[in-house]
Structure 1
Amino acid sequence: MTEPKPVRKLSPTMKLVLDFGPILAFFLGYALFKGRVFSINGTEYSGFVAVTAMFVPLLVATTLISWRLTGKLSKMNLMTLVLVVLFGGLTIWFNDERFFKMKPTMIYAIFAFILLAGLARGKSYLAMVMDEVLPMQPAGWMILTRRLCIFFAVLAVSNELIWRNFSTDTWVTFKTFGLTLGVFGFFLFQGKLFETYALQQKDGPDE
């Protein structure tokens, strides 16, 4: 039998570039082309749709680079990629930016549903994905999973409220900085949980 390829870790700088480079590129591309209209084969496309058409292959490329460098892709990364390609493709095909604006709603709603389904079975699917990078006691994973499930649901609702009630400029800023900083902030405020339920602490509380 052939042994599985070892998983290699990316440097913090490379991981940051691969994870957030496409998001920042989308923001800069939109800022540059938002006032322009592109005509292709007699069909006019807004700057938003044009930037979406550039963002999708860029995300595919960075995902493939990450896979080649590490030898592994998480299920969350794969699901995100599939939804980006799907909703990005619909945006381009129908020339309708609303599809791409709905993408974060679908991503966070699906993640929340998956975590909720695991909780209903008394399991933390989050632990299955992140256990290697964040060792914790089972009780800690269950608490974090419940919190993240609620957080993802809040993000999904927030995205719907923003894109349906505010300008495209506001939504792009929200998507680029609001959602990203929100995720960073969420995990930053879990420091006490990580400290309490760290795997090396054998006598941590149950709740």
Structure 2
Amino acid sequence: MTETRKINPWLKAGLEFGPLILFFVVFMRLRDKTLTIAGTEYSGFIVATLVFIPVLVASTLALWRLTGKLAPMQIATLVLVVVFGGLSVWLNDPKFFKMKPTIIYLIFAALLGFSLIRRRNWLELVMSEALPMRAEGWRILTIRMVLLFLGLAIANEIVWRSMSETAWVNFKTFGLPAIMVAFFIANSKLFERYAQPRDGE
């Protein structure tokens, strides 16, 4: 089993969120422009996606190299970004990249729901080292996360289908991370109630 190595938390945050921030910056600078590349016209959104894909690949590989480990969500995100972002660039159609959050949230809702049915909590397997809790706490948190992911999938579909590209980029860059942070803050009482002492405490 590969040992997880500790790295500077600021470096870790930069590698995890840097590509998304870069996507936001490039899009905001080019959103009203059309660029011609190899004889084909591309919107600012497509160009931002084209920049985002290799930067995310490089940052994810750097994170893996430095820490020796990647979370399942990081791997799934990378694969879906390459596939759906690549389709958007190749077909010059932004809708594929906009659908990516919907698909990844549905995948994780399905996996967590399936783990509950199988009575083998995958969320606990992934996060128990960082967040020790009793089994009942993990069951409750998993149910809530299934509902969260379903809600985020629906929200993403509503935003990209009914609002402007700028609204969707703002939602993806700031809204989705803020919702995730708020979710874990809102569940702080659950963590306290079902907490288990860490090793050595």
Q: TM-score normalized by structure 2?
A: 0.95
Which among 160, 184, 201 is matched to residue 163 of structure 1?
Answer: 160
Instruction: Check conservation: 1:123, 1:142, Cα contact below 8 A.
Output: no
One-letter amino acid matched to 1:88:
G
Kindly state the Cα deviation for residue 61 of structure 1 after the two structures are TM-superposed.
Answer: 0.7
Instruction: Check conservation: 1:37, 1:44, Cα contact below 8 A.
Output: yes
Give per-residue Cα distances to partners, 1:126-164, cap 9 Å, x unaligned: 111111111111111111100001000000000000000
| Stretch deviating more after TM superposition (57-66 or 6-15) | 6-15
Over the residues paired in the alignment, what is the CA RMSD in angstroms? 1.2
Partner of 1:191: 188
Q: Structure 2: how far apart are the matches of 1:94 and 1:136?
A: 46
Structure 1 counterpart SS, 2:196: coil
Kindly state the Cα deviation for residue 199 of structure 1 after the two structures are TM-superposed.
Answer: 1.2
Q: TM-score normalized by structure 1?
A: 0.92
Structure 2 counterpart SS, 1:132: coil
Q: Structure 2: how far apart are the matches of 1:42 and 1:63?
A: 31
- Name structure 2 gaps, 5 residues minimum: none
List aligned pairs for 1:42-121, cutoff 5 A.
42-121=39-118
Structure 2 counterpart SS, 1:26: helix
Kindly state the Cα deviation for residue 22 of structure 1 after the two structures are TM-superposed.
Answer: 1.1
Structure 2 counterpart SS, 1:56: helix
Structure 2 counterpart SS, 1:21: helix
Q: Structure 2: how far apart are the matches of 1:147 and 1:132?
A: 20
Q: Structure 1: how far apart are the matches of 2:187 and 2:12?
A: 21
Q: Structure 1: how far apart are the matches of 2:3 and 2:188?
A: 30
Q: Percent identity?
A: 50
Structure 2 counterpart SS, 1:39: strand
Aligned residues: 198
Which among 25, 30, 33 is matched to residue 28 of structure 1?
Answer: 25
One-letter amino acid matched to 1:179:
L
Give per-residue Cα distances to partners, 1:45-99, cap 9 Å, x unaligned: 1110011000011111110111011011121111111001000000001000000
Partner of 1:141: 138
